Amino acid sequence: MKSYISHFESRLGAMTWRISTLVESETPTSEKVEVDRVVNALAEWAAGLGAQVRLHQQAIVGDCLECRWNTQAPGAPILIICHLDTVHPLGSVERSPTRIEDDVLFGLGAYDMKASIVLVQTVLEDLQALGLALARPVIWLVTTDEEIGSPYSRPLVEKLGREAELVLVMEFSDYEERIVTARKGVGIFQLTVLGRESHSGSAPGEGINALVEAARLVEPVVALSDPARARSLRQRLCAAARVITSSLASVTW
Ligand SMILES: [Zn+2]
């Protein structure tokens, strides 16, 4: 064990450089072109390490990356899952540059979860270099839509998950460095508020403004959050549509 620790301590500089490079290559979920560029770089890296690489094309978000090693080894695979996307819009890195303070690296998306990607790369490289190839097939899945609830990668996660004997989701745990074995669930709800169209000149009193009605719902929806029960709601106004004379006809939220 001790020799492993000193071995990985010797890799610290390379890992720090790699994490910084990955952080500087911004990958917000919504920016397919930027995300694909990094996915392709990871695919090249994996191919260089002898993986069978498969890109799962996505229309809206970045392509998902599936890499397989030791395909001839007996037994069901170990599946390692990472996500590449972050919540930080393009240009954020310029405003919050990567830095190291007191031995801690701060970088946008480093914790969630670019450092994990580098950790997986380093461990897989080193196992191979040290002649310690795992006695099972290994699959590394990198998804690109985790920050919006994995709507596009979910079928792939489920399919590969069923194939595997063990799944390691490389999401960091918490500041106390405990292993997380389950997470609270996530739900996505869409509210559509319908108003009533009317002419602002001849019948102003007959319209119902959907935007105003939607605004009335904001407070009660926010009040559904309950920190004591670890329940949190995030609100996003997605679209306010169809303004016809005085009344906004519908709002989707
Ligand atoms: Zn994450």
Task: Determine which helix (DSSP H) or strand (DSSP E) holds 93, and give its type and residue range.
Answer: helix 92-95
Phi, then psi, of 132 in degrees rounded to 5: -115, 40
Alpha carbon of 147 to ligand 1 centroid (Å):
7
pLDDT tens per residue, range 175-226: 777 887 877 777 777 888 888 887 777 777 888 888 888 888 888 888 888 8
82 Cα to the center of ligand 1, angstroms: 8
pLDDT in tens, 230-244: 777 776 655 555 544
Say what the pLDDT of residue 169 is: 94
CA of residue 157 to ligand 1 center, whole Å: 14
| 171 C-alpha to ligand 1 centroid (Å) | 5
Task: Report whether pLDDT(81) > 80.
Answer: yes
- Global pTM? 0.81
Q: Beta strand pairing status for 104-106 and 99-101?
A: antiparallel
pLDDT level of residue 247 (50, 70, 90 thresholds): very low
CA of 86 to the centre of ligand 1 (A): 8
Which residues hold their Cβ within 5 A of ligand 1, which is an ion?
112-113, 171
Higher local confidence (pLDDT), 3 or 19: 19
Residue 223 CA to ligand 1 centre (angstroms): 26
| Residue 8 confidence (pLDDT) above 90 | no
Q: Ligand 1 mean position to 183 CA, how many Å? A: 12
Tokens of 140: 């590394």
Strands (E), the chain: 52-56, 64-69, 78-83, 99-101, 104-106, 138-143, 166-169, 192-194, 239-244, 247-252
CA of 146 to the centre of ligand 1 (A): 7
Parallel/antiparallel/unpaired status of strands 239-244 and 247-252: antiparallel
For 50-78, write each residue's pLDDT tens digit.
Answer: 999 999 999 999 999 999 999 999 999 99
Tokens 């500089």, located at residue: 13
Residue 73 Cα to ligand 1 middle (Å): 30
**Residue ranges of domains in the chain, CATH in brackets:** 2-169 (3.40.630.10), 192-252 (no CATH)
Spacing, Cα 142 to ligand 1 middle (Å): 11
Tell me the mean pLDDT in the region 21-48: 97
Is the pLDDT score of 248 beyond 70? no
Q: How far is the CA of 211 from the centre of ligand 1 (A)?
A: 33
Residue 102, pLDDT score: 92
3-state DSSP assignment of residue 226: strand
**120-177 tens-digit pLDDT:** 999 999 988 888 878 899 999 999 999 998 999 999 999 999 999 999 999 887 777 7
Residue 111 alpha carbon to ligand 1 centre in Å: 8
